[in-house]
Structure 1
Amino acid sequence: MKNLLTTITFTLITSVIVNAQSDQKSLEIINKSIDAIGGKKKLENVKTLYTEMQINNDPVFYITKEKAPNKGSLEVKVNGNSVFGYRFDGEKGFEKQNGQIKQMPDEEITDKKNRKYIFNELAYIDPTIWTFNYVGEVDLNNSKAHKLKGENKNGTIEYIYFDSNNFRKVKSENIVMNDENNLSTFEYLDYRTLDGLIVNYKLIHTDPKKVITTMTFTKQEINKGITDKDFIY
């Protein structure tokens, strides 16, 4: 479970500085994707995000809280019992497992400190974080999609696919251990309206060993009830 959490964290959280510039075609597509889900201003106006996500059809839930720019917490519950969690207050981070609290590994603290946005789409257009190159239009699940290759200063290389018709993000492939045949894949499904934004309510994750995990958001809330106290133990 913790390996899956690590994969999700490194895929959904981006950071630090890239010197090169994205090509114009990539920026055009990313900006269209931002417009398609509600626009840059609406994304920037999201100051907190609360989510509950069920894993497969099992009694396993991930509960996350985020506060811009980089505060975050996670609680993993199995049959209603908390089995793992972390809290990061913007500077310090701690993990909790089996009732024991310990400091986060230094590399995870560094990643979380460098986070700048709740939504990855805003990070995609930030040249201090990502550089994108347009690969081309490809066939994907019986439809067309624009494929972009992204490089992050932290060493992450990711292929991202945007639907050619509505420009929503439909798939991402994270290269594991710098091996392009070794991919961690996410599919983004079930887009719905949430407070003026269009967000996905379902993820399908396929790890490099082809283990498939379905993650369904059972609750998402924007700008409601989250305070700084949620990020400290």
Structure 2
Amino acid sequence: MKTTLLSLFFLLTLSHTKIFAQTEFTAQQIIEKSIEATGGKQYLQSIKTLYSDMTTEMEGRKVNWVTKEMLPNKGSFMIIYQGRTVFKNIYDGEKGYEVSAGTKKLSDQAEFSDKKFRRNIFNELDYIDPSLYTLTLEGTEKVDKEDSYKVKAACINGTVRMLYYSTKTFFQLREDKSTTEKGGFSSTYFSDYKKFGKLTCYSQMSFGEGDKIQKAKMVELLVNEKISEDDFL
């Protein structure tokens, strides 16, 4: 009987130690592990431009979303249908614009308020900057049946992000964003991570709820290619 109780105690102790080991990371360490899983801090910092082309459906039509980003915070987003750009917005590092029918006009700047607080192409590099974000570990939670760490990232401008990282791979699975930008709240899911050269990135993303879920699939992801300063004029 004594041996059995000692054995049980030993097993419970091991079990407790294992659980503790799985949750002993700080919020900062979880973000750092995600950075390492996607390419490493040094490599991500070496990326000056990022080009992505994703395919999706809008109103029953197959379109492409093309995003161009340049350090520190320049960006453009285009919706392309049958080879024609039907929508485009630009942030030149200071102000946001919309281009329609070849005419460029100043946009509602509330749509770009978060851009002023970006210093890196990859958000995780901003998250670990204490002058920009305060990080808090909120525990663990399931995301599509996968265990994840839940990290709260509060930006100095008031934007709050709930970030969910796989406890196994440290890839980001979901983001809930309460923003100062126009639009308020949004949830985005990331899946099917793949290697694009030295960079590991999601190849599928989705957002929305119910029958209004929007899904997009990566067609092309290019590092330090296909982008110049002219893209943000």
Corresponding residue number in structure 1 for 2:100: 97
Structure 1's 29 and 114: CA in aligned 2 closer, same or farther, altered over 3 A?
closer
Percent identity, please: 33
- Distance in 2 of aligned mates of 1:191 and 1:122: 19
Contact in 1 for aligned 2:47/2:223 (Cα 8 Å): yes
Corresponding residue number in structure 2 for 1:188: 190
Contact in 2 for aligned 1:204/1:212 (Cα 8 Å): yes
Q: What is the 5 A alignment of 1:202-217? A: 202-206=204-208, 211-217=212-218
RMSD: 2.2
- Distance in 1 of aligned mates of 2:68 and 2:185: 28
Aligned AA for 1:189?
S
Aligned AA for 2:155?
N
TM-score for the superposition, normalised by structure 2: 0.79
Contact in 2 for aligned 1:59/1:80 (Cα 8 Å): no
Aligned AA for 1:202?
Q
3-state SS of 1:60 partner: strand
Measure how far apart 1:140 and its partner are: 2.8
The structure whose RCO (Cα within 8 Å, separation 6+) is larger is 1
- Distance in 2 of aligned mates of 1:143 and 1:224: 34
Measure how far apart 1:43 and its partner are: 0.5
- Distance in 2 of aligned mates of 1:103 and 1:135: 39
3-state SS of 2:131 partner: coil
Bigger radius of gyration: 2
Whether 1:122 aligns to 2:125 is: yes
Q: Which runs of 5+ in 2 are unaligned?
A: 1-24
Contact in 1 for aligned 2:143/2:173 (Cα 8 Å): no
Whether 1:222 aligns to 2:223 is: yes
Q: What is the 5 A alignment of 1:124-139? A: 124-139=127-142
3-state SS of 2:26 partner: helix
Whether 1:157 aligns to 2:160 is: yes
- 1:26-45 per-residue CA deviation (whole Å, 9 max, x = no partner) reads 00111111111111001101
Measure how far apart 1:195 and its partner are: 2.2
Aligned AA for 2:39?
G
- 1:85-133 per-residue CA deviation (whole Å, 9 max, x = no partner) reads 1223323432112333211223345533432110111111111222121
Aligned AA for 2:169?
N
* Greater helix proportion: 2
Aligned residues: 204
- Distance in 2 of aligned mates of 1:106 and 1:137: 36
- Distance in 1 of aligned mates of 2:78 and 2:27: 35
Corresponding residue number in structure 2 for 1:87: 90
Structure 1's 202 and 58: CA in aligned 2 closer, same or farther, altered over 3 A?
farther
2:176 equivalent among 170, 173, 179: 173
Aligned AA for 2:156?
K
Structure 1's 132 and 51: CA in aligned 2 closer, same or farther, altered over 3 A?
same
- Distance in 2 of aligned mates of 1:109 and 1:141: 31
Contact in 1 for aligned 2:117/2:157 (Cα 8 Å): no
**Greater alpha carbon shift after TM alignment, 70-79 vs 217-226:** 70-79
